[in-house]
Chains A and B, each alone.
Chain A
């Protein structure tokens, strides 16, 4: 028993080392034990999961080192473009487990348009007997988000020497590099102020957040989640309530959660409304008001936009389903 526990502690240490260098994709296999060590293992797994999620949004990985370019995703494909190997980063970024990739067509992790493009590119690659090429593709995450990337393709012989395989490398250009490019662009144009996109570029600049700022923004996030029905103050007032300023709240919130404060509020209201329409007996109108909307037409419009069906469609569907049971 003692030996078994030492083994488990060893695995925990390994996991902690991986976490320390920013590899949040690892999990410890769970056993049927239900003791203190098992509780620690479960907590570590959940902790890694939380960190992995935060990391996808904030891209804080190795932020102190500011790497210029890092290899983000690697895939090994056989001749028919079926995935043979994939690195952990790819599974983390695309939110699929490693096993999901193996043996699947590479195109199933691309947007439809890119999948068609891939077929053309790879056909030409083989026809022209190329060894290397690159192309722009849009990856599709499990959550349906799109990640546009340049993919570098190299040909190599598999270990047995029987088949030509492909190594695909996707490079991530860090914000530091982007910033350098942006500065250079500004200099070349020499008209940074009148540059048509200059305002947009400024908005994209990363806002510097202290831990205290992050804590305040998180409080704001929780306040929205738990009080969707509240009459929302102006962004400035909301920032003051949280003890921060409008700029930090606006750009910090977007940086942390990948969505604007206003859109998040609407999204949360609709999420709640969607559940209430299905499971409460309240009228749709009173649900709309209960989750903080001021007018029914506005509620119906944004609801339809988000879910592609109207509130009444959902209620009718649910009622029919219930009556059938």
Chain B
């Protein structure tokens, strides 16, 4: 099953029960943006828990309100979260988030989609 949606901040694909979120280039995430991102993400959940593969390689910045919202409100219905990183900025962004957000959702960052999928599949809700 392939479902795709998108907004100003990201594009989404639902493939094999995993939601792929790819942020657009130079996106700056504040609370307002985070709400839109999460709302569109949840529209693909169909009320079910799902794994999220989130490509943050091109995100420019995310503020505290957005970080908190994503870690709290954004964590319901998420079985696990894999962040795709590569540049120094995206690596530090994910490390900062992992260190400060204390999200209850298993979260880790990866440099390849394959590794990320291996991680997400461990938490797949059957």
Contacts of B103 in A (CB 8 A): 226
A271–B75 alpha-carbon span in the complex (Å): 11
Contacts of A50 in B (CB 8 A): 64, 100
CB <8 Å contact, A225 and B76: no
A53–B91 alpha-carbon span in the complex (Å): 24
Contacts of B92 in A (CB 8 A): 39-40, 42-43
CB <8 Å contact, A280 and B47: yes
Within 8 A of A (CB), among B50-89: 60-61, 63-64, 72-73, 76-77, 87-89
Q: Does A127 contact B (CB under 8 A)?
A: no
CB <8 Å contact, A53 and B64: yes
- Which residue among A35, A49, A275 has the maximum number of chain B CB atoms within 10 Å of its CB? A275
Contacts of A30 in B (CB 8 A): 60-61
Contacts of A42 in B (CB 8 A): 61, 89, 92-93
Within 8 A of B (CB), among A190-213: none
Contacts of A317 in B (CB 8 A): none
Q: Does B45 contact A (CB under 8 A)?
A: yes
CB <8 Å contact, B88 and A36: yes
Interface size counted on chain B using CB atoms at 8 A:
26
Q: Does A88 contact B (CB under 8 A)?
A: no
Partner of B102, one of A35, A222, A271, A272: A222
CB <8 Å contact, A225 and B102: yes
Partner of B104, one of A35, A225, A278: A225
CB <8 Å contact, A34 and B102: no
CB A107 to nearest CB in B, in angstroms, measures 25
CB <8 Å contact, B77 and A280: yes
CB A35 to nearest CB in B, in angstroms, measures 6
Residue of A nearest to B73 (CB): A275
Residue of B nearest to A287 (CB): B76
Q: Does B123 contact A (CB under 8 A)?
A: no
Q: Does B26 contact A (CB under 8 A)?
A: yes
A272–B105 alpha-carbon span in the complex (Å): 14
CB A325 to nearest CB in B, in angstroms, measures 8
Q: Mark B5-27, 1 if CB is under 8 A from A, else 0.
A: 00000000000000000000010
Q: Does A46 contact B (CB under 8 A)?
A: yes
Contacts of B26 in A (CB 8 A): 32
CB <8 Å contact, A279 and B64: no
Residue of A nearest to B87 (CB): A34
Q: Mark A209-239, 1 if CB is under 8 A from B, else 0.
A: 0000000000000100111000000000000
- With A30-B60, A30-B61, A34-B88 as known contacts, state yes or no: A226 contacts B77, CB within 8 Å: no
Within 8 A of B (CB), among A31-71: 32, 34-36, 38-40, 42-43, 45-46, 49-50, 53
CB <8 Å contact, B88 and A279: no
Q: Does A90 contact B (CB under 8 A)?
A: no
CB B75 to nearest CB in A, in angstroms, measures 9
Partner of B89, one of A38, A53, A278: A38
- With A38-B88, A46-B96 as known contacts, state yes or no: A281 contacts B47, CB within 8 Å: yes
CB <8 Å contact, B76 and A275: yes
Contacts of A45 in B (CB 8 A): 61
Q: Does B110 contact A (CB under 8 A)?
A: no
Q: Does A276 contact B (CB under 8 A)?
A: yes
- With A39-B88, A42-B93 as known contacts, state yes or no: A279 contacts B42, CB within 8 Å: yes
Within 8 A of A (CB), among B27-41: none
A272–B72 alpha-carbon span in the complex (Å): 8
CB <8 Å contact, B72 and A225: yes
Residue of A nearest to B45 (CB): A279
CB B99 to nearest CB in A, in angstroms, measures 10
21 A–B pairs (Cβ distance < 8 Å), ordered by A:
A30-B60, A32-B26, A35-B88, A39-B88, A39-B92, A42-B61, A42-B93, A46-B63, A49-B64, A50-B64, A50-B100, A226-B103, A271-B72, A271-B73, A272-B76, A279-B45, A279-B76, A279-B77, A280-B47, A280-B76, A282-B47
> Interface residues, chain A, CB within 8 Å of chain B?
30, 32, 34-36, 38-40, 42-43, 45-46, 49-50, 53, 222, 225-227, 268, 271-272, 275-276, 278-282
Question: Which 9 A/B pairs are nearest by Cβ-Cβ distance?
Answer: A281-B47, A226-B104, A39-B88, A39-B92, A279-B42, A34-B87, A222-B102, A36-B88, A275-B76
